[in-house]
Amino acid sequence: MAEDNFHYQIPDRNIRKEKYDKFGFSPSVQRVSYAEHGSTLKQQATTFKEKEFTKKDIAYSSQLFIQIETPEKVSVKSQKQKIENLGFELFSFSANNESIANAIITKEKFNEFEQRLENYINTEDHVGKTYFAPIERISSIPPENKIDDQINYESEDSMEIIINLYSTINPKELLAISNTLEIDLRNYTNEILKRTFKNGITSLFCSIAPLHLTKIAAEFSTIKEINLSQTFTVPQAIEVDPMPTDIKINSIQSSSTICIVDSGIYPNEILKNFIKEQVGYPNPAAIDFEYNHGTFVASRCIFGDEIDHCLATKELHPYCNVLDLSVFGINSLNQTVGPSDFTLRCAIEDIVLKYYETIKVYNLSLGVPVSIQNYKFSDLAKLLDYLAKEYKVLFVVAAGNINRLLGDYPALHFSNPNSRIGSPAESLLSLTVGSVVKHSTTHSLSENGFISPFSRKGPGADNGIKPEVVAHGGNLISPYAQIPRISTYGISKSGQNLSADVGTSFAAPLISQYAQRLFDFYPSSDANLVKALLCHFTENRNKPDELLDDNIYYVGFGEPNIELALRSAKNNSAYIYEGYLDQENYQFITFHIPQKFADTTVDSKLRIKVTITYDPTVNPDNEKEYSESRISATLIKNSVNGMKEISLSDEKYNLPWNPIIQFEKSFTRGFLAGAWELRLRLYTRGKTSENYLQNYATVIEIIDDNKTIDVYNDIENEFSEIYNKIEVSVGAA
C-alpha cells in the first residue's frame, strides 16, 4: 500500500439533519375496583413509612428508596411514564422479574403521592386512575436483595466486603449518611476504608462477619448493595533463553506513554529508559512488588510480539514509553498478593485523573478468575466506563484465562459456564482482548489462527460482543499444558533472559500498542475513532467447528491489521467521520461510490463495510439498563428509483444499547454510483438529559472484492473536491 494512502475525511457539508416524530405506547391497566385497589396501596404506603422512618439514615436523606411492582405479565418499564407522574423515579429494573423496579422519591413528593392517593380512592371517577392502576405493590427494598449471592450471611467468619451507597444521594447528605454508616460498622470491625468515586458510587471497604450484614442492610435504606470484595490475579512466566549480551536497542519511535496497571515493571538495563514513572499501591501484606508479570507485559507493549527475534537479529525496536502502576506484590512467603477491588479502583482513578491529558491508553492484563453474569457489572467495570467516557481514555483489558481443562476439548471445555470472561473484561467502553494461536505443534490443542484453548469467551454482561478483538497470546499442548515453543515471549524481570508464557495478559499489550499508534496517528481524535479503526480493520480468526455458537463470542471482530487501520490498500478505501447526534433529528452522512463500480464492462464486486462506535453514559445503579444511549443505523443506496433503504438484518452486528455497530453488504446490481447515505438516529433512556449529545465515530469502507478497481485512486480522481485525506501525524506511522 502507498505511504500516503491515508483515509478520507468526510466533511461537515456532507452531513444533513432531518427531524423525526417520536412515538410511544403504554398499555393501560384495568382494576375491578379502583377504590379497593387504592385502599390496598394506602395500607402498603403506611407500612412502608412505618418501616422506613425507623432506619438510622432517615434523618439525613431527603429521598426514600422503594420497590414498586406491577401486575404479573405487565412490564414495569411499560408503565414507567405513568408511575413517574406520581413523583417516583424508576432507577433500577430487576434482571429476573420484569414487573419489579426500584424507585426513589423525595419525602415531600411522597406526601403529595399520599394526598393524590386519597383522591384516587374517594372521588367518584377515581382521579388519577391512569397513574395508580399500574401499581400492584409498594414496599421497602428487601435487605437480602442487597447482599451478594456469594456471601453466606449466616457465617461468623470474617471476610472482606464492599458496601456501596446509591449514586443518587446528593453530596451534602452523603457525608452525613456515610459517616453514620461508618460509626455503625465500627461495632463489628476496626479498619474501614471509604471513598466516593468519580462515578458517584460511595464505597466502604472492611472485613466483617457476614452474619451482621442483614441487620446492617435493613437499618440503612441508602445502602444499594453489599458485595464480596473481588481478588485480582496475574499468571507467572517461565525464564527461558538468555538475552544476547550485545543487543542493540534502537531509537524509540514515539514519545507517547502507555500506563501498565500490573505487578510492577522492574527497571532492568533494557527497560529502565522507557519507564517514565513508577507509582505503587501495595497490598498491606506485601513486602515488595511482584515485577515478573508486569515486566513481561510492559516489554510486549514496548517491543511488540516478536521479541524473541532478537536472539537472531540482536536488535529490539521500541515503539513507546510506559508508566508503571504497580498493584500486585509478594508477601514474606514469596506468594503473589493482589489488590482488593477497592484499592484497584482507587489506584486507577488517581492515575487517570493525574495523567488523562497525556496518557490515553491504560493496559489491564489482570482480572478475577470467576465468570461474569448477565446484567451484572463489577464496581471496577463501572468505574472504567465512567473514566473512559469522562476523560476520553481507552482501557485495554485482557479477557481472562481458563486455568484448567473444563471438559473434553473443545466442545465441553468452551460450553462450560466457567469459560466466560471475568471482571473487569465486561466493561462496556473498554476494549476487551482475547487470545489466538500463532504457533502450533503436533500435539497442540489449537491451530494457527484459531482461539487459544485458555482464552475466555463472551458474551458480555449485556449479552453483547466480548472480546471485541484478539491477538497472539499463545497455545497449549494436550492435555492442557504449555511449552515455550508455542508460547508468547517477553523480557524477564532481570532483563537477562527471555520469558515464555501464555495468556490473554500477553495479547492485550499488543492491542494497547496498536491503540497508542492510532492515538499518535490521529492526535485530534478520541477513543471512539481508535476503537472503530481497531474493530473495523481486522482479519478473520476462527473457533473449532465443534463449537456451534456464534464465532463473534470467541474471537470478536478478529485480529486488528494495524497497517490497514493506518492506510488504505489499492482495492479498498475508507471514509472517516467523527460527530455527535442529538435526540431530535436523524443524521444523514453522505459518502460516494466511484463510477467504475456501476460500469457493467468492469468485473468488480462492490462491498460496503461500516463500523460505528460511541461512548454512552452508563447508570451504575441500573444494571439491566446500564447503557443509556443507543444508535440505530440504516444504509441508503443510490438507485434508478432514487435513494432506497437497504435491508441489513442478516449481515449486521447491532445489539441495542451496545456501543459498537458493524455491518457489511455486497452489491452486484440495482445500484448507481455517486452519493449514498448512512442514516443514524439516537435513542436515550435512564437519567439522560434532553440536551444530551452523543459523540460517535464511523468508518465507511468501500471495497472491490474482485480486486479489479483501484478504489482509492478512483475516489481521489472523482471526488477530490469533496474529500481531503485525513490529517495525520506522519511521524507516528
Q: Inform me whether the pLDDT recorded for 679 exceeds 80.
A: yes
Question: What cell numbers appear for 113 in the block?
Answer: 403521592
CB atoms within 10 A of CB 158: 13
pLDDT at res. 199 = 96
Lowest mean pLDDT among 32-46, 60-74, 228-242, 388-402: 228-242
Question: 576-632 pLDDT, tens per residue?
Answer: 999 999 999 999 999 999 999 999 889 999 999 999 999 999 999 999 999 999 999
What is the Cα–Cα distance from 669 to 315, expressed in whole angstroms?
Answer: 52
Residue 28 counted as domain residue:
no
The domain total for the chain is 4
What is the Cα–Cα distance from 17 to 586, expressed in whole angstroms?
Answer: 6
CATH code for the domain in which residue 384 is found: 3.40.50.200
CB 139 within 8 A of CB 101: no
**Helix residue ranges, H only, 251-375:** 292-303, 310-313, 341-355
Q: Which residues contact 544 (CB under 8 A, 6 or more apart)?
A: 410, 411, 446, 450, 451
Please state the length of the chain.
733
Backbone angles phi, psi at 466, to 5 degrees: -160, 130
Of 165, 197, 228, the residue at which a domain comes to its end is 228
687 confidence band (pLDDT: 50, 70, 90): confident
Residues 222 and 260 in one domain: no
CB atoms within 10 A of CB 581: 22
463 confidence band (pLDDT: 50, 70, 90): very high
Residue 233 counted as domain residue:
no
Amino acid at 366: L
Q: Under DSSP, is residue 442 helix (H, G, I), strand (E, B) or coil?
A: coil
What is the Cα–Cα distance from 631 to 580, expressed in whole angstroms?
Answer: 11
Domain span at 197:
146-228
Strands (E), 95-253: 100-106, 137-139, 159-165, 192-196, 202-208, 223-228, 238-242, 248-249
Residue 3 counted as domain residue:
no
420 DSSP 8-state letter: B
308 DSSP 8-state letter: G
Residue 577 counted as domain residue:
yes
pLDDT at res. 82 = 96
CATH code for the domain in which residue 49 is found: 3.30.70
Residues 603 and 471 in one domain: no
pLDDT at res. 727 = 75
Residues 559 and 589 in one domain: no
Residue 2 counted as domain residue:
no
**Mean pLDDT, range 120-129, rounded to an integer:** 95
Residue 26 counted as domain residue:
no
Residues 452 and 550 in one domain: yes
Residues 81 and 133 in one domain: yes
212 confidence band (pLDDT: 50, 70, 90): very high
Residues 473 and 542 in one domain: yes
Residues 387 and 504 in one domain: yes
Of 141, 173, 190, the residue at which a domain comes to its end is 141
Block residue for cell numbers 491503540? 515
Residue 589 counted as domain residue:
yes
* Closest residue by Cα to residue 677 from 563, 593, 568: 593
729 confidence band (pLDDT: 50, 70, 90): confident
Lowest mean pLDDT among 298-302, 652-656, 681-685: 652-656
Residues 510 and 402 in one domain: yes
Residues 591 and 713 in one domain: yes
CA triple 321-369-383, angle to 5 deg: 60
pLDDT at res. 421 = 99
pLDDT at res. 647 = 81
What is the Cα–Cα distance from 576 to 579, expressed in whole angstroms?
Answer: 10
What is the Cα–Cα distance from 109 to 66, expressed in whole angstroms?
Answer: 13
Q: Inform me whether the pLDDT recorded for 651 exceeds 80.
A: no
CATH code for the domain in which residue 623 is found: 2.60.120.680
CB 557 within 8 A of CB 535: yes
366 confidence band (pLDDT: 50, 70, 90): very high
pLDDT at res. 21 = 84
Lowest mean pLDDT among 303-307, 419-423, 433-437, 666-670: 666-670
Residues 158 and 134 in one domain: no
386 DSSP 8-state letter: H
Q: Inform me whether the pLDDT recorded for 733 exceeds 60.
A: no
Residues 649 and 661 in one domain: yes
487 confidence band (pLDDT: 50, 70, 90): very high
Rg of the Cα trace of the chain?
Answer: 28
Of 210, 228, 246, the residue at which a domain comes to its end is 228
Burial class (CB in 10 A: 0-12, 13-18, 19+), 107: middle
Beta bridge mates, 316: 249
pLDDT at res. 2 = 62
CB 127 within 8 A of CB 51: no
pLDDT at res. 437 = 98
Average pLDDT in the chain: 95
**Mean pLDDT, range 507-511, rounded to an integer:** 99
* Closest residue by Cα to residue 74 from 92, 90, 98, 93: 98
530 DSSP 8-state letter: H
4 confidence band (pLDDT: 50, 70, 90): confident
CB 430 within 8 A of CB 395: yes
Residue 246 counted as domain residue:
yes
Residues 319 and 184 in one domain: no
Q: Under DSSP, is residue 351 helix (H, G, I), strand (E, B) or coil?
A: helix
pLDDT at res. 238 = 84
Q: Inform me whether the pLDDT recorded for 20 exceeds 60.
A: yes
What percentage of the chain has pLDDT greater than the value 90?
91
pLDDT at res. 730 = 55
CATH code for the domain in which residue 184 is found: 3.30.70.240
